[in-house]
Structure 1
Amino acid sequence: MMNATNTQPPSNDWLDEVRWNSDGLVPVIAQDAESGKVLMFAWMNREALALTADSGEAVYWSRSRSRLWRKGESSGHVQRVRGLRLDCDGDALLLSVEQLGGIACHTGRASCFYSELHAGRWVPVDPVLKSPEEIYG
Structure 2
Amino acid sequence: MKFDPNSLKFNDAGLLPVIAQDVDSHEVLMLAWMNAEAVSRTLKTGQVTYWSRSRAEFWVKGATSGHTQELVQMQIDCDRDCILVSVRQTGPACHTGARTCFFTDVTSGTEVTS
Distance 2:6 2:53 in 1: 22
Instruction: Mark the structure with the bigger radius of gyration.
Output: 1
Deviation of 1:110 (Å): 0.6
Deviation of 1:16 (Å): 2.4
Q: What's the counterpart of residue 84 of structure 1?
A: 74
SS at match of 2:4: helix
RMSD: 1.1
Deviation of 1:119 (Å): 3.4
Identity over the aligned pairs, expressed in percent? 46
Q: What's the counterpart of residue 73 of structure 1?
A: 63
Q: Relative contact order: is structure 1 or structure 2 higher (C-alpha 8 Å, sep ≥ 6)?
A: 2
Is 2:78 the counterpart of 1:115? no
Residue type at the aligned position of 1:81:
L
Which aligned runs of 4 or more in structure 1 are off by greater than 3 angstroms?
none
TM-score, normalisation: structure 1: 0.79
Q: Which runs of 5+ in 1 are unaligned?
A: 1-10, 126-137
Q: Which runs of 5+ in 2 are unaligned?
A: none
TM-score, normalisation: structure 2: 0.94
Question: Alignment length, in residue pairs?
Answer: 113
Cα displacement string for residues 99-127 of structure 1 (whole angstroms, at most 9, x for unaligned residues) = 012x10011111000000033222111xx
Is 2:113 the counterpart of 1:124? yes
Q: Which has the larger share of strand? A: 2
Q: Which has the larger share of helix? A: 1
